Amino acid sequence: MKLRCKPNLLTAGVLAVFVLAVPFFVRAQAPPGPLPAAKPQDAPPKTVEQPKAETRTSILGRWKLNRDDSDDAHKKLQDAQNNASSRRGGSGISIAGFPVGGRGGGRSGQSDADQQRLQDVVAPANSLTLAQKDAKDPEVDLTDDQNRKLVLFTDGRKIEKADSKDDSYQEIAAHWDGARLATDEKGPRGGKMSRTFELSYDGTQLYETLHLVTGRSNTPVDVRYVYDPAPPVGERPNS
């Protein structure tokens, strides 16, 4: 009987050692510490909605100058002067009736008053408003930020010659060409010039194009100013 018990005790001891060793072995194989948390995915960047540009169906209303999109009138006139002077051997020319100098800074009779008047003619308004009482009214009023007013008559009436010394109010003949408004005017010194007002193709901007003629060759010089929609005076733009 004693011989039979010894193998059983031996077997029981081996099993006990194995049972105790298994948890230790499992713990030894497990990585130390808690498992790392899953890396969160980056949230998609928030899209900032750009304000939609206001669109219009008519040139009427208030507009503000967009200098970045507009032509540089000084450069346009300087280029025209240089091109014309090179053909005429450096002699002076005229732009819209104003004499301008030839090469070397010559002025060819251009006075300080003429120079300033030409700059006033071609300088754009910082803001302007085009108004018409109704669609059948032959009068379109243009008022700028300097309180200068151009009254454009589109019914073919004869326009009385304005006082050349008063630039704050002028009456000018004009006509509609579809949705475009074009003036039939002359420069302050009788030179050829006109301007057109029209919407951009998408209705988000107003184009004012000044048409000037240089010298006897009648070479055209076009200066385009671009305006963005602006709220009426006293009204805040939409945020």
Q: Which CATH architecture has domain 61-159+166-229?
A: Beta Barrel (2.40)
Q: What values do phi and psi take at 182, rounded to 5?
A: -120, 140
Spell out the alpha helix ranges (H) of 30-146. 73-87, 112-122
pLDDT for res 167 = 73
Angle at 217 between CA 214 and CA 220, to 5 degrees: 45
Give the residue extent of every domain in the chain.
61-159+166-229
Which tens digit of pLDDT belongs to each residue from 144-155?
999 999 999 999
For the whole model, what pTM was predicted?
A: 0.71
Which tens digit of pLDDT belongs to each residue from 169-208?
999 999 999 999 999 887 766 678 899 999 999 999 999 9
Which tens digit of pLDDT belongs to each residue from 12-68?
554 554 445 445 444 555 555 565 666 666 666 777 666 778 999 999 999 999 999
Query: Most confidently modeled of 69-83, 94-108, 138-152, 213-227?
Result: 138-152
Q: What values do phi and psi take at 191, rounded to 5?
A: -70, 165
CB 95 within 8 A of CB 191: yes
Q: Which amino acid is at 111?
A: S
Spatial distance between the Cα atoms of 136 and 57, rounded to a whole number of angstroms = 17
